[in-house]
Each structure stands twice: as C-alpha cells, then as structure tokens.
Structure 1
Amino acid sequence: MSYNFADLFEHSVDAMPERIALIQEDRLITYRDLDIRANQLAHYLAAMGVGSGTKVGFQLHNSIETMETLIACFKLAAVPININFRYGVAEAAYVYENADLEVLVHHAVFADTVRAARAHAPKLRHCLSVDDDEVTAEAEIGTVRYELAIAAGATWRPFTARTGDDLFMMYTGGTTGKPKGVMWRQEDMWRVLGGGIDFYTGEPVADEYQQSRVGKANDPSIWFILPPLIHAAAMMPTFTALWSGNTVLFEPRFDARRVWQAVARNRPQIMVITGDAMARPLLDAFAEESVDAGSLIAVASGAALLSQPVKNALLELFPSAVVSDSIGSSETGFGGIGFAQKDDDPARGPRVQTGRGAVVVDEAGRPVAAGEEGWLAKTGSVPLGYYRDPEKSEALFKTVDGIRMVVTDDRARAEADGAITLIGRGNMVINTGGEKVFVEEVESVVKSHAAIYDAVVVGVAHPRWGQQVAAVVSAAGADGIDFGAVLAHVREHLAGYKVPGCVWVAEEVVRAPSGKPDYRWARGVTEGRDPDHRSK
C-alpha cells in the first residue's frame, strides 16, 4: 500500500470524478478537472527538472491554483515549501536559501518581494507567476505566467514512483526565532493530521482506499477553510476533505464580512478557523450584518486556541453546532481535541482529550503521574527532524526506552481522566523575582475582560524583579480601557505576580497568518515607547 498524498487524492478522483472539489468565489472545479490541471502543471515542472525531492516554494494566498501546485508537487514526489506571504524581502530570502528552493510559484501581487528576495537565493532558478484579483502576472526574465505553464503540460498522470516515505515539509512561522523546516514522511503526516487515524475514535484507517470508498458512499459536505494554506492548520483539513470526497470552499484573503456572504451563498457545514484572530472579527461582522448561517454544524479552531468569551459567543450564535479546539504544531501534528463549554474558568488553561500518542513527560522523557506537570510530548508518528539542523533535531526528537518521541517546549499537566491541561510554552516563560509565569495563562485571563479585544503578553526588564509581566492589548470598543478594572479582573483569577505591571495599547494586535501571537512584534512595541499604563 502507498499512503501518499497524491495517491490518496487520485483515489478520490477515480471514485468521484464529477463531484465539486474546490470553490473559490464564483469558480468551481471538479475532482476530474483539478486532477487534469495538476497533471499539466506536473508535466511542465518535470520538464523544468523537478522530480523526487526537488524543493518547490509556494508563496500563494488561498486559491484553486495553490491546491493545483501542491497536488502537482506530490505527484512528482517533489517537496512543496510554504512561504509566508507576509514576509519581507530578508525573511523570504532566508527561507528560499534555507530550504534550497529551485522553483517558486507565487501570486503576482508578491512579485516585487520575490524579485528582490530571489537575488539572494542562487539555487532558485525558475518562477511561475499566478494572476490574482489585484495584479496580473507580467512576463519577465526567469518567470513564466502560470496559465502558460498549465497549457504546455500533458493531461495524463505522470509516471512517478511514489511511496509513503516521500517527504512532506512545513516551515514553522518563526514568530519567536528563525523559521525551521519540519520534515515528515507523508504517511506519518497522513496518520496524524490527514484522517489516517480517526480523529474521534482513534481507530487507524484500514487501507488507502477507505477514505475515498466511504466518501463515495455518502453525500459530500462543504468545508470552509479560512486559515492560509501556507499553514498545516489549513492545508491538512483541505486534503482530509478531498481524500474523503468532500468540497472545500476558499476565500483568497480573510475578510469577515465576505466570509459570511460566502456562508450564505454556499451553505457550508464545517468552518475551520484559527483562534480569536479569526473568531472575533467574524463575530463582529455577524453582529453588524447577520446572514443565514444555519448550515454550520461545526466550527473548528486549530493552531490557535479560542478564549473563553469567544467560545461563549460562538455557542450562543450557533447553539446546535459543535465548537472545538485542537492542539498540535508542525513538530507534533494533531495532539488532542477539546469541545467548548460555556462559562469555563478562563484561568483554568485549555484542556483537551489526548489523541494519537500525546503524553506529558518529565525531564527524562518518561510519562508523569496524573496531577503532575511536565512537558507535552508526542509518540507514534513523529517527524524525521528539522531540515539542515541536526543539532536542534537531536535536542527535540528523542528515543526514550526504545520509543521515539518529540518533546516540545510546552508545559502541561496530566489529568486523572486522561485529559491534558496546557500551561504554556517553556521558551516564553517570564521569570519575575524567581516566579515563573506562562504568557498564555495571562493572555487568556486578560482577553476574558469585556474591554479587551486581543492581547499578547511578554516580559520586560525590571530593576528589582529581573523581568516584569507586560501586556500589549487592543480595545474592544471606542470608550477606551479602564486599566484599573482590567487588572482587578486579572487579579481575581491569578496571583499578583502574574498581573501585568505595564500595559501598551495598540490599534491592532499583530498575529501570524496562522493566528499565533507575534511576540517579536509585541517586544518591539514595548521597546519603542513608554507604556500607556504602569502599575505603582
């Protein structure tokens, strides 16, 4: 059997060729036509020397062409590399070079950044430019218009040796350091994030045809994928939907008002989001102009957890829908899922039922007893390591008592009922006077106050305590923020040393496309000006 991304997709094509695979605004494409266009692109890329192991970057917002590019690469056993489309020249050039890119597919709107960045990546020899709704691709040296490449390729499937060992690689966001390429076997990634193990029952899928076989026997549902496909939180749900015969709905860019218009027009059953960064604007837009969203039966957040006030609001807005949080990362894949309940204690910490080998371990890598804290780890299907970084790979990916695992920087507590409570990232801990403060815990409570729209917590220098807890926040309304009331609210839930001593107000809290906090940006805010509030 070959548990390979391209094979799994082709099984769906063969079983359900006339079903709609993708919807992007007013564009629809069937499984058959998506397969044909991916074949054409694959043949063009093969003629350019792309083959097994070749690194092909994609600097694209969500679109049909993005999926064609991914599928074409997998058909050739090439390795698509996600390039954050928000990167500046220096950041993009770093990933181009670090990933050993040879080919890049990008939307035309990013042409200026690509042109400047590729000058620092000598291995990048060929670019394809995709028209988008803002810019039409222009011909230039070393760049070909995407549709010309499609037209030049044959329609039949390329003959390529593909296996479950083919490489899947995902670059981390780099919000706390340089981006790193996490290497997976495709079969392992399928097992942990692609439906190769049932998310709810934990049962492994029996064979490579099971997803398409079950999909053919059932009516398709529509999955509205809102996060960018440059992140696994969007890419893997998209492939899971396609491997099981469903339809995926895209918007090129996140615009909350347009999202609800698309919901009313297309009637999706499942909406995938990333935390408060998407949920809050969606709630605001719905309050301003509501639509018929009764088709939604599930709202699933991945990559960034929802705050309790947002969970409450979603449950009130969609009383018959399931609202879920999932934990995981590029290094672990799926680690567990939790279902929202109203009015939980915001200081309790996110709690999930574990899945597929998630465990809390001590410093030696051995499981801790119920009630004890340790490091969140993952066993079973885990990555091969970091690309071009054996030192960090050795530090994170370990073998303990004959069991291979990835031990993360996340602190967690094992619960008696088998659940795991997340405490926070160890590499983001604030040491204030010898007390350790996890920023996620403080962020959760700060965001639970009605006056706060969003918040990021960092440590700032303090002459007595070494570090002090600080927050960068945005306001929920036009009336401003009563800092005394907010901090009193935090003090009701947390110890005094965890209460932010300094607060900066920003018009908007900056986050990565994945929805994760941008801590480098927040530190820049704290270093750039005096705080708007300082405790006595």
Structure 2
Amino acid sequence: MTHVRSTPAARKSAVTPDASPPTDALDNAAIRALPHFFEHSCDRNPEAVAVVCENVELTYAELDRRANRLAHLLGSRGVTPGRTVGILLERSVDAYVALLAVIKAGATYVPLDPSFPAERIAFIAQDADLCELVTASDLRHRTAQLPCPFLELDAVDRALAEQPDHRPGIDIDPTSWSYVIYTSGTTGRPKGVAVSHASIANFLHVVTPIYRVNAQDRVYQGLSIAFDFSVEEIWPAWIAGATLVAGPTDGRRVGQGLGDFLLTHAITVLCCVPTLLTTIEAELPKLRSLLVSGEACPPDLVRRWSRPGRRILNAYGPTETTVTATCGELTPHRPVTIGTPLPTYRVYILDERLRPVDEGAGGEICVGGPGVAVGYVNRPDLTTERFVPNPVEHERAEIPRVYRTGDLGRRTPSGEIEYLGRVDTQVKIRGYRIELGEIEEVLREDDAIENAVVTPVEHDGVVQDLVGYVTLTDRAGGTSHDVLRERLRTSLQSRLPDYMIPSFVEVLSEFPLLAADKVDRTALPSPTSPPLNRRSTAHVAPGTALEWHLADVWTEILGGAAISVEDDFFCDLGGHSMAAARLISRLRREPELRGVAMGDLYAHPTVRGLARFVEADAAAAAARPPS
C-alpha cells in the first residue's frame, strides 16, 4: 500500500504568521460572513480612511453609510438573500460601495469587468440569473441587451439619499454564496465559480496573521474586482483598518507611471502579478510588503525587489479554492516555490489515477479543506469532474472533497511545493487565467476553419501573448487570408476579452502531428503574418537610422512581420500595456533614449511619430543654454 503524503497545514509553513496579529478582527471566530469583517473594522475605528480614489477619500463610517443606503435601495427593488447581483463599474468609489452593498443585502455579487464584450456580459447575466445589475450610465452600451434590470448609480442620487443609512441587519447563512467569479472555459463560454461566505471567511481568518497588514498601511488596489486576486488587495486591508488606495485606470497602470503613482501615494503593501512588477523601475522605499501571484515568479525578480525590512510572499491558488491555497516567503538565492498550504488547507500530489505519488515525484496538485468552492454555476457535469471525493479515504471525514487544479507540482525536500506547469492547455497571461480551448472553439465556428490551435508566446520565460493557428476547409475556397483574419478578428472581439484575443492568426496547410495524431504544439512555426489588429494600410519602410532602430526594437518586443513606421503600437500591432512597458524599459537602456516615458508612447504610438518626438526633444535640449 502506498504511504499517503499529503501536505497539511500542520507541517512547518514556508511563511511565519505574526505571533500577535495587528488587529483583533480575527480573535472573534463568530465572524462568518464577508460584510461583517468590514463592519467590525468600521466599529473599531470609524474615522480611519477606508478608501482613496483619485481625489475622493471616504472614512470607514462614510463608506459604511453609503453602502447601507444602497443595500436598502437594492432591497426595495426586490434583491433578497440568495439572489445574484451583477456589478459592472470602472474602478471607483461606487464600485467599493456596490460590492459592500450587495453582500450587506444578503445577495451574491457577480463582478463584471467593463472591458468584457457585450455578448460575454449578456451570457454571464443569463447564466448567473442576475436579478439586478449595478452599473453607470456611461456603460449603457454594455447593458442595453441584458436580460435583467439594471441600476445606474449616477442616476439615482435622490433615491439613495432617501434610504436609511443604518445596516440592513440581514441574517446571512455562512453556506450561502458570497460571490460568483467567471473564469475562462473550454467550451467557448466562461464558467462561474461559486464561493460561499464560509469559505471566504475561513480564508480571511487564516491569511490575516500571515499577510500582516496593519492599520497604518496604504494598500494598492489595482486589479479588477472581476478577478479574485483583488480579494487579497481589498479585504486584508479592510480587516486591518488600513487605507485602500485605488489604482489609476489610464496609462499609469504599468511602468514608470505606476512607479510614480506608488511613490506619490506612499504605498506600503503591493499585490500584483510578476509581469507587472517587471515593468516598474522606480525604487519604492515605503514598500514593506509585496505579494506576487497569478503566474510563476522569476528568481531574478525576487533578487531585484528584495530589501532589508521588505517581505515578499508568493501566493498560489485557483479561484475554485478561494483565492489562495498555498503561500511561501521568497528570499534571494533560494528556489522559488509556491510554499506550503495555508492553515486549514490540505494539498495532495496525485497521479492520473488519483493516487499519492512518491515523495519528490511530480503529480497533479489537488486541494482540500474549507476553501474548496461550492462548484460551477449550472455545470453539474464539470463540478463532478473537478470537485471529487477525497481519494485518501482515511482523511475523507475531515476533508470530504478536493479540487483537481490541473496544475502539476512536487514536494521539495524542505516540504514546500514546486510548481511544474499544467496537465492541459490552460495558461496564465498577465495574471489572467485562460483556457486556450475557449479561444479555439470561437475560431472553429467560422465556416472556413477546419481546425484551430492557440499557443502562448513567452518573453523572458513569462507568457505575454497568444498566437492562433488555423487550417481551412474546402468551403474556404479562394477566400484571401487577409479577409479571413479580419472576419476572425471581428468574431473574437465580439466574444472574448482583449487579453484572450491572439496577437496573430497563422493560416497553415496542415498541422504538425505527433505519433498519436495530436497536434505537435512545439513544432508550430513562429508567426510571420501581420498582427491581427493591423489595419489594411500600405507598408511604409523606415526612412532614418532612428526609425530603423525603433522598428527593430518594436519587432523584438512584438514579434511578427516587418513593422510599418505608420503602424499604431496599440491599434494596429496589438500592443497592450505590459508590452508597452517592456518596450519603454528596453528603449531606456540606451543613453540617447533614456528620457522616453510611457506617456510618450501613448502620445506618439507609431515608429515615425516617436522618432520625430525623440529627435525634436534632443534638438530642443541641445539648443538650451547650459545652466
């Protein structure tokens, strides 16, 4: 009989909890519903600043009263415990008010990102059976066709003012759903993960002494609430009575602009994906706690950001295990691991038949404990497939179910878990979880497409972009590849978020195959076609030495065919904020381009435009008399 080697919370942890947590919020185990964590902090220190968003500051008491009014208004509109309410808002004070209001009303919040296409929002609204959508009038183009009523907060000021500002006092069942977050799915449609109040309350109880946020901290909040990593920004801050600082939604989200923002706002706690961290060059002397998650963290990034008095934590966990399941402290010159399970969590490394592997061998990471989610909304088949009875029978009474993550890992001799990749085609790109099968299904819906494969493109060992490969049916006839790509681009943009749209689509006569007739993804060629977003304009070659140099660097960053000097980095070449940050960082290594900033690229997004700006700036500097 194989000896079972699970990783329980009782084993020595890769992180050390604070012996005396900075708050008494978790001393009271009776807190078993999400809104009560915030209310506890509010009662403890009502005049502390809860959130800063642009030029607006709200204390805990002010935010509590505003959320209470909205909760009462939602109740008057038929929102009752157990119903689902969507939130479709840009990052703003209203978004935080709405989040609190929905759960105070006893309902389940379903966050939607404004960048989602209207068709995706409509699907989620129907699948989650939303009884209400909290939104704003400037997002009406996203809500016009929804199958549910919607409440535009900027249009109901009078109705809100008439509501009482005391807490609704709804009795919340801990087993009821707290939120539903939609993630990418293999069927061509996203799938909703339902998480109970009991699961999220357990998570917050166990991470508070590990994350060690305190009331003096200023915590950066830069992630969309449609992704559960945002939970790690928002709730530990509010439990501690700290100040949450809402990040910018413009070009300052990455790179130099973000570095300046973090400095200006004296941020002390930062949670982010490693890719974002690579774009920040600024020194941040106030930063004392750094939490990375969402993708593998390169060791050189740990060395770059390590400082005396600064703690770097690496968190791991899919949405289905309530935000984070394992955590480890990262230090220079030590291997990067995903640490050990959080208290109350259990991790098993199992083979394909769900049997424990030998010590040190690789297998699928399976997670058990109170953090395991309820399941997938309206997907009993998938819930049964991924949420399984604990195969370790003698532990089943304590840990009845485990979630099969699809991630591969192994235990190191120190007892920590090393992440080894995926058993399927799921990838993380810029922190977003993507099922490549969902994109492939959308591509295959075109009558001209026989088969489709989507693969990730790595830069410096981190997935940054996607490439689609297609073969054609006989029905494609004489359709030009440019016409086909334009049709596919339109279809993809109507169905998928921007981060899921391939940068290139390559048309092949056939796919390279392995012996088992499966596509050999490693043998697919590098992209040579124009970027999928490129407009049909004539190619203009570089005309100066600087234009040639900039074009070479752009090709280095973006890949693909030769770049026209009049191609727009964002609109034509598919550049995104992370690619822009990599480009600026690359250019700034050269003395003559050291002054180029992110804002310059947004203002001059073509090779020709940026070259002329650099030349004009250099000429102006040369003409200025020496000081």
Tell me the distance in 2 between the aligned counterparts of 1:74 and 1:310: 38
Question: Can you list the C-alpha shifts for 1:371-403, whole angstroms capped at 9, x where unaligned?
Answer: 111111111111111111111111111112223
1:299 is matched with 290
How many residues are paired up? 431
- Structure-2 change in CA distance of 1:239 and 1:463 (3 Å): closer
- The one-letter code of the counterpart of 2:460 is S
Q: Extract unaligned runs of 5+ from structure 2.
A: 1-29, 428-434, 437-454, 471-509, 532-548, 560-571, 579-627
Query: How big is the shift at 1:247?
Result: 1.2
Matched position secondary structure for 1:91:
helix
1:47 is matched with 76
Higher alpha-carbon Rg: 2
Tell me the distance in 2 between the aligned counterparts of 1:22 and 1:65: 11
1:493 is matched with none
1:508 pairs with 2:611: no
1:280 is matched with 278
Question: Can you list the C-alpha shifts for 1:341-399, whole angstroms capped at 9, x where unaligned?
Answer: 45778xxx854333322331223434323211111111111111111111111111111
Runs of 4+ in 1 over 4 A off after TM superposition: 341-345, 443-446, 455-461, 470-474
Query: How big is the shift at 1:308?
Result: 4.1
1:248 pairs with 2:247: no
- Structure-2 change in CA distance of 1:184 and 1:416 (3 Å): same
Which moves more between the two structures, 84-93 or 16-25? 84-93
Matched position secondary structure for 1:44:
helix
Tell me the distance in 2 between the aligned counterparts of 1:221 and 1:5: 21
| 1:369 and 1:414 in contact (8 A); partners too | no
1:463 pairs with 2:463: no
2:376 is matched with 386
Tell me the distance in 2 between the aligned counterparts of 1:237 and 1:368: 35
2:366 is matched with 377
- The one-letter code of the counterpart of 2:242 is N
Query: How big is the shift at 1:169?
Result: 2.6
Query: How big is the shift at 1:93?
Result: 0.8
1:365 is matched with 354
Matched position secondary structure for 1:172:
strand
| 2:314 and 2:330 in contact (8 A); partners too | yes
- After TM superposition, the structure 1 = structure 2 runs for residues 147-158 of structure 1, keeping only pairs within 5 Å, are 147-158=157-168
- After TM superposition, the structure 1 = structure 2 runs for residues 79-478 of structure 1, keeping only pairs within 5 Å, are 79-115=108-144, 117-118=145-146, 121=147, 124-125=148-149, 127-130=150-153, 145-174=155-184, 177-192=188-203, 194-198=204-208, 200=210, 219-253=215-249, 255=252, 256=254, 257-276=256-275, 278-283=276-281, 286=282, 293-315=284-306, 320-333=309-322, 334-342=324-332, 351-355=338-342, 356-381=345-370, 382-400=372-390, 401=393, 402=396, 403-428=400-425, 446-448=458-460, 454-456=464-466, 462-465=511-514, 466-469=519-522, 470=524
| 1:40 and 1:150 in contact (8 A); partners too | yes
- The one-letter code of the counterpart of 2:170 is T
Q: Compute the TM-score of the two structures, normalised by the length of structure 1.
A: 0.72
| 2:208 and 2:236 in contact (8 A); partners too | no
> Structure 2 residue aligned with 1:12, among 25, 28, 41?
41
Query: How big is the shift at 1:107?
Result: 3.6
| 1:365 and 1:407 in contact (8 A); partners too | no
Query: How big is the shift at 1:312?
Result: 4.2
Tell me the distance in 2 between the aligned counterparts of 1:459 and 1:424: 22
| 1:55 and 1:101 in contact (8 A); partners too | yes
Tell me the distance in 2 between the aligned counterparts of 1:408 and 1:428: 13
Matched position secondary structure for 2:216:
coil
Matched position secondary structure for 1:42:
helix
- Structure-2 change in CA distance of 1:506 and 1:454 (3 Å): farther
Tell me the distance in 2 between the aligned counterparts of 1:367 and 1:190: 30
Q: Compute the TM-score of the two structures, normalised by the length of structure 2.
A: 0.62
Matched position secondary structure for 1:508:
coil
Query: How big is the shift at 1:184?
Result: 1.9
Question: Can you list the C-alpha shifts for 1:493-521, whole angstroms capped at 9, x where unaligned?
Answer: xxxxxxxxxxxx9653699xxxxxxxxxx
- Structure-2 change in CA distance of 1:363 and 1:38 (3 Å): same
Tell me the distance in 2 between the aligned counterparts of 1:275 and 1:506: 24
- Structure-2 change in CA distance of 1:252 and 1:509 (3 Å): closer
2:21 is matched with none
- After TM superposition, the structure 1 = structure 2 runs for residues 50-89 of structure 1, keeping only pairs within 5 Å, are 50-89=79-118
| 2:68 and 2:165 in contact (8 A); partners too | yes
Tell me the distance in 2 between the aligned counterparts of 1:175 and 1:383: 17
Question: Can you list the C-alpha shifts for 1:300-334, whole angstroms capped at 9, x where unaligned?
Answer: 1222333345444434xx56533332111111131
- Structure-2 change in CA distance of 1:249 and 1:510 (3 Å): closer
Matched position secondary structure for 1:22:
strand
Query: How big is the shift at 1:81?
Result: 0.3
Query: How big is the shift at 1:14?
Result: 0.9
Q: Percent identity?
A: 20
- Structure-2 change in CA distance of 1:295 and 1:58 (3 Å): same
Which moves more between the two structures, 179-188 or 332-341? 332-341
Query: How big is the shift at 1:339?
Result: 3.7
Tell me the distance in 2 between the aligned counterparts of 1:2 and 1:324: 26
- Structure-2 change in CA distance of 1:252 and 1:262 (3 Å): closer
Matched position secondary structure for 1:331:
helix
Query: How big is the shift at 1:191?
Result: 1.6
- After TM superposition, the structure 1 = structure 2 runs for residues 22-37 of structure 1, keeping only pairs within 5 Å, are 22-37=51-66
Tell me the distance in 2 between the aligned counterparts of 1:148 and 1:66: 19
Q: Extract unaligned runs of 5+ from structure 1.
A: 132-144, 202-213, 287-291, 431-437, 487-504, 512-536
Tell me the distance in 1 between the aligned counterparts of 2:362 and 2:284: 41
Query: How big is the shift at 1:271?
Result: 1.0
Query: How big is the shift at 1:293?
Result: 2.5
- The one-letter code of the counterpart of 1:307 is P
Query: How big is the shift at 1:479?
Result: 3.6
Task: Please identify which structure carries the higher strand content.
Answer: 1
| 2:456 and 2:464 in contact (8 A); partners too | no
Tell me the distance in 2 between the aligned counterparts of 1:344 and 1:482: 35
Query: How big is the shift at 1:10?
Result: 1.1
Query: How big is the shift at 1:457?
Result: 7.5
